[in-house]
Amino acid sequence: MIKTCVKAAVSILLLVSLSLVISPAKEPANTDADSAAVRQAIADWIDAFNHHDAHATTMSYSEDADLTNMREVNYHGRKEIEQLFQTIFATRLKNAHRTAVVKRIRFLTPTLAAVDGDWEMTGVTADDGSVVPPRKGYLVLTMTQQDGRWLITLFHEPEYGLAAPTP
């Protein structure tokens, strides 16, 4: 009798577990205002970038953010990210201008959004001072809402046509 009850309980748990795995997850019911807030956060980041303001640009990132640039170099946390922007705004990107077009926002939870888009950058200079042709690529961002603000938590900006670095 006890074995039968245990088998029945295990079977029920298994069925419930499988139904949770098999049933499609519903996306959170975020509003147009949430999408507009994410788009505005990205517009604010672009504006700070185009003003070459390392601190304001960095404040668009969460404290524990990870940034992976187009060369697949990783930076972790606001301190490292701000140091990166201070360096590149003083050198290769001192005349840079960036644009971005958000293609898709998917809310994974009410406070977590995946964002895909395209970017273009002009005014970049090479290490030898020569002007680099306009660069284009795509953005892959994960944004989190913290204290009512949408912040970049994961940032990837692959460049179209750029070969992956050799290990």
Q: CB neighbours (10 Å) of residue 87?
A: 12
Write down the pTM of the prediction: 0.78
Per-residue pLDDT of the chain (167 residues; tens, 9 = 90+): 444 433 433 333 333 333 333 444 555 567 899 999 999 999 999 999 999 999 999 999 999 999 999 888 999 999 999 999 999 999 999 999 999 999 999 999 999 999 999 999 999 999 898 999 999 999 999 999 999 999 999 999 999 876 555 55
CA distance 83 to 105: 29
**Structural domains of the chain, ranges and CATH numbers in brackets:** 30-156 (3.10.450.50)
